[in-house]
Amino acid sequence: MRSLLASALCLAFCCAVPAFGQTVAAVPKHTEQPAETPDLAPRYLLQDHRGRAVTQEDFRGRFQLVIFGFISCPDVCPTALLGFRNILEALGDKAERLQPIFISVDPERDTGPVLREYTTAFDPRILGLTGAPELIRRAADTFRVRYEKVREPGAPPEVYTMDHSTGMYLLDPDGRFLVKFASNAPAQGVAARIRSLMDADRSQPPASRRSNAPLR
């Protein structure tokens, strides 16, 4: 697992820093949007690593913890995925009721198989989703996530980074927004809050969805 994690971090670094002699991409900017978002109605229609359609309806009966980012992000995104792993570990047996989801805002580079390899390096239970640019934009809008491609003046088309807002969005077993956590919130505190919400929830996941393994 450690070697996979090191490979994922190396992949992010290598994507962010081109070879010697090439134009270096701009450093991405990350902004934390206010957490007071009670009227959010998150929706998404994206694809997993095999190209199969995935929506928030696929996880009925389970909580979802969603973040947006991109593989070549040098710091915030890998830190958030490490947080996902720590949250799952802190939840223990209750982790089977949580589906962690990483939605890429960089579909040009983050293909399904590459995204799958990257998320698996942190924890195989994390599901990476991508899709057509317009579908990613539509999904981000429902979460009120902001992102844009940034390229230094004179840089070639393939050398760019992604500015994006950050945060972890928790959805309930019916896919409704519950609470937003800061991207750097302590894993133990996030897990404790999720555990309390699970304890208060009386619904049970369908038998076919009680495993925390991502869609395969």
Q: Which domain holds residue 75?
A: 2-18+30-202
Helix, strand, coil percent content, the chain, rounded in steps of 5: 35, 20, 40
Tokens of 74: 């040098």
Question: pTM higher than 0.85, yes or no?
Answer: no
Task: Tell me how crowded residue 124 is: count the other CB atoms within 10 A of its CB.
Answer: 15
- Is residue 215 one of the residues assigned to a domain? no
- Is residue 208 one of the residues assigned to a domain? no
φ and ψ of 8, to 5 deg = -65, -45
pLDDT (0 to 100) of residue 206 = 53
pLDDT (0 to 100) of residue 157 = 86
pLDDT tens readout for residues 39-52: 899 999 999 999 99
- Over range 59-80, report the average pLDDT: 94
Residue in 156, 167, 162 with CA at minimum distance from that of residue 110? 162
- Is residue 210 one of the residues assigned to a domain? no
Nearest 10 degrees: Cα torsion 103, 105, 110, 115? -20
* Domain count along the chain: 1
CATH number of the domain enclosing 51: 3.40.30.10
- Is residue 214 one of the residues assigned to a domain? no
pLDDT tens readout for residues 2-38: 555 544 544 444 444 443 334 444 545 444 454 455 6
Cα gap 110→115, rounded to integer Å: 6
| Burial zone of 213 (CB within 10 Å; 0-12 exposed, 13-18 middle, 19+ buried) | exposed
pLDDT (0 to 100) of residue 7 = 47
pLDDT (0 to 100) of residue 39 = 81
Tokens of 13: 């670094």
pLDDT tens readout for residues 145-168: 999 999 888 888 888 999 989 999
Amino acid (1-letter code) at residue 132: A
